[in-house]
Amino acid sequence: MARTQSPSRSALAAEVADFAGMAAAVLGELQEAEAAARIQEEAGRMAAGAATVVVVGEKKRGKSSLINALLGWPGLLPVDADVATNVYLTVEHAEADVARAFDEDAPQGREIAFTQIAEFAAVDPETQRPRREGVFRVEIGLPRPLLASGLALIDTPGVGGLTAGHTAITLAALSRADALVFVVNGASELTASELAFLKRATERIPTVLFVLAQIDKYPHWRQTLERNEELLRTHAPRYGQAPWFAVSSRFANDAVGAEDAGQHELAGKLRERSGIASLAAHLRDRVAAEVETVRLRQTVRTAHVAVSARGTREQRALGALRCDPGVEEAIKRQREAVRELQDSSARWRQTVAKRFQNLDQEIQRDFNGRIQDLRDAAEQQISAVRTGKDEALQDIVRDIQDSLEGFWMDLETKTRRGTAAIVVALANEFHTQQVDVLEDQVPFPERLKGLRLTPSGRDSGSLGSQMERLLPAIGVGATLSTLSIYIVGAPLGPLGFTVAAGAGYLLGGRRKALEELRRAQADVHRYLVRSLERATTEMLPDLRKVMAQQHEAVVEETSARLQRRRTELEAELAACTRSFQEEQSDLARQRQAAQQRIDRLAAVHRHGASLLKQLDAAPGTPARGSGPAQADRTDP
């Protein structure tokens, strides 16, 4: 689903949009088409971007119910007591209600009815298997005020217990998100797996808030909340001061029903008791506002730098028109510096190549470590399977698949961010705008999606398998009957023979079951080996190809900019030479025109500087280097 542009979220956003349009128009008139296009592109990202909030928690903690309550739609996401979310569901702003599912048959997405969301996104309550296999994610668009304020909510599968694959994908998703909402309930304190997840999430996301859900079910929820805060201070101190919100999705949903029934006073009381309004206000006024401020600042800074660069060139041109003796010499020095930078052995080329090489080595080390960790964990899980082997081994297969996808998301994000860091460093060294780098996410390798488990051996329920167990059992009965002649002097009767044969059948069955378990374990182990081998041959080459393309693009674009700069300097030198030859009346007209351009650029520049100051003081501006602010605790 293409993300729709949300309505303007603040007066400052409208002012920034106007400023970006003004700067792009001025630069366009001055033949700065590239700079004008860059500003317009940044302004488009600013307007369409939403703060991505990932909702995380173990199974049955009330994540889906919480999102439904925030949106005021009780039945939007599947929330039955015996139903769990199986895929990632994204809910974001749209002009009209729409839902799309992405699966192996429709990787680009297909529109589905809202009544089909559970079919595509949930597990079967009896088998605990996905109701529909091969679904990647479901996206939902709604014209809801909370979403229009600049938020996109992502509901995730459970991350606790043995769902290592889901955990890997969720952790990777956090690297691309703006905030984490961690959901627990009032039943008991944080579990060891929840605390372990939070420790791993620490380095991935700066903004975290906690929700204590289902407080209507647990009268002792306040004691649970206090214990959870204590556990965080001890085991995850990064989140010791993070805000907590105690909520009841049931009260919020009942409020919707009361409102629909015309019981407005009751609806108001239920909404207040639910605590949902305080959580929604924090997401809107703090999380969304902070992300918006960052994007507004980036838009203003992009335009500000472009206007400043053009203003500097206009100042030099005016100096040349005034026949300033030092201008010509300064231009010549800059031209010589550009010539040196254009040399194929220039230091900046070597520096960029070294930085990409270091990024490649970092990705390689990270990949090798993750693959080895997955191998060790999967082999341990395979060896530990004893009962319910079919379900347990299938769970391991799914964990391997999800873990590899999580690895890819993490490494792909690290590749894009590493490339962006190289570009930023180069721009700072050259005191110029950044070169465009890869922004679209690189898709998960197709050959890894198609890898399937291929079982070997016979079906334990087949006639051949049953005969394999029955024939040895008959042999056991016959052997015991023969031995009885020597021991008691008479053969076993029909009943004794049957009992002996039954015992042999059971012993044979146990042996056969162990053989089948070992065969199934071997199948999953082969799947593991094939998956890791294919990941090695698919993932790293794809990422290296991306890095090589980016390296080439950075070098080519930087070289092109150097050539353009050299051309500009040659033109400035030519103008300087002409200024000594032209009539003073012509020079006066040119100086006047140059000064008008400078004045116009200076006015735009001052406007940009003023906006940057306003953004630094705007509500929701992130406090760099500090943890999330403590919100007022909701106490229904």
DSSP 82-128: T--B-SEEEEEE-SS-EEEEEESS-TT-EE--GGGHHHHHBB-TTT-
Strand ranges, E, within 110-239:
110-111, 135-142, 151-155, 179-185, 208-213
Q: CA-to-CA distance for 546 and 202, rounded, in angstroms?
A: 28
- What are the respective helix, strand and coil percentages of the chain, to the nearest 5? 65, 10, 25
Q: CA-to-CA distance for 301 and 611, rounded, in angstroms?
A: 9
The pLDDT score that the predictor gives to residue 209 is 93
Q: CA-to-CA distance for 489 and 388, rounded, in angstroms?
A: 45
Task: Calculate ∠ Cα 431-434-440, nearest 5°.
Answer: 170
Tell me if residue 343 falls in helix, strand or coil: coil
Q: Mean pLDDT, consecutive 10-residue segments, the chain of 636 residues?
A: 48 88 93 88 78 86 90 85 66 93 85 90 69 83 91 78 61 81 88 83 83 92 92 87 93 93 93 94 90 87 89 81 70 80 80 91 90 88 76 78 82 84 79 56 62 53 46 51 53 54 56 81 88 87 86 84 82 72 69 89 92 78 38 37
Closest CA to 179 of 242, 86, 231: 242
The pLDDT score that the predictor gives to residue 586 is 72
Q: CA-to-CA distance for 470 and 112, rounded, in angstroms?
A: 52
431: left (phi over 0), alpha (psi -120 to 50) or beta: left
Dihedral angle sign, alpha carbons of residues 191, 192, 193, 196 = positive
Strands 244-246 and 51-56: unpaired
Q: Where are the alpha helices (DSSP H) in 275-345?
A: 276-282, 289-321, 325-342
Closest CA to 414 of 351, 369, 348: 369
The pLDDT score that the predictor gives to residue 550 is 84
Q: Does pTM surpass 0.85?
A: no
Long-range CB pairs of 124-129 (<8 Å, 24+ gap) are 125/80, 125/82, 125/83, 128/84, 128/391
Q: Are 138 and 90 in contact (CB under 8 A)?
A: yes
Task: Calculate ∠ Cα 95-100-102, nearest 5°.
Answer: 145
Tell me if residue 476 falls in helix, strand or coil: helix
Tell me if residue 465 falls in helix, strand or coil: helix
Q: CA-to-CA distance for 455 and 446, rounded, in angstroms?
A: 22
The pLDDT score that the predictor gives to residue 534 is 87
Burial letters 354-390, b for 16+ CB under 10 A, else e:
ebbeebbeebeeebeebbeebeebbbebbeebeeebe
| Block residue for tokens 């809107």 | 284
Q: CA-to-CA distance for 539 and 444, rounded, in angstroms?
A: 8
The DSSP element (H or E) to which 382 belongs, if any, is helix 347-384
Task: Tell me how far apart the terminal alpha carbons of the chain are, to the nearest angstrom.
Answer: 37
Contacts of 68 (CB under 8 A, 6+ apart): 74, 75, 76, 77, 79, 249, 253
The pLDDT score that the predictor gives to residue 465 is 47
Q: CA-to-CA distance for 416 and 442, rounded, in angstroms?
A: 9
Q: CA-to-CA distance for 240 and 230, rounded, in angstroms?
A: 8
Q: 617 φ, ψ to 5°?
A: -105, 5
**Radius of gyration of the chain measured on its C-alpha atoms:** 33
Tell me if residue 509 falls in helix, strand or coil: helix
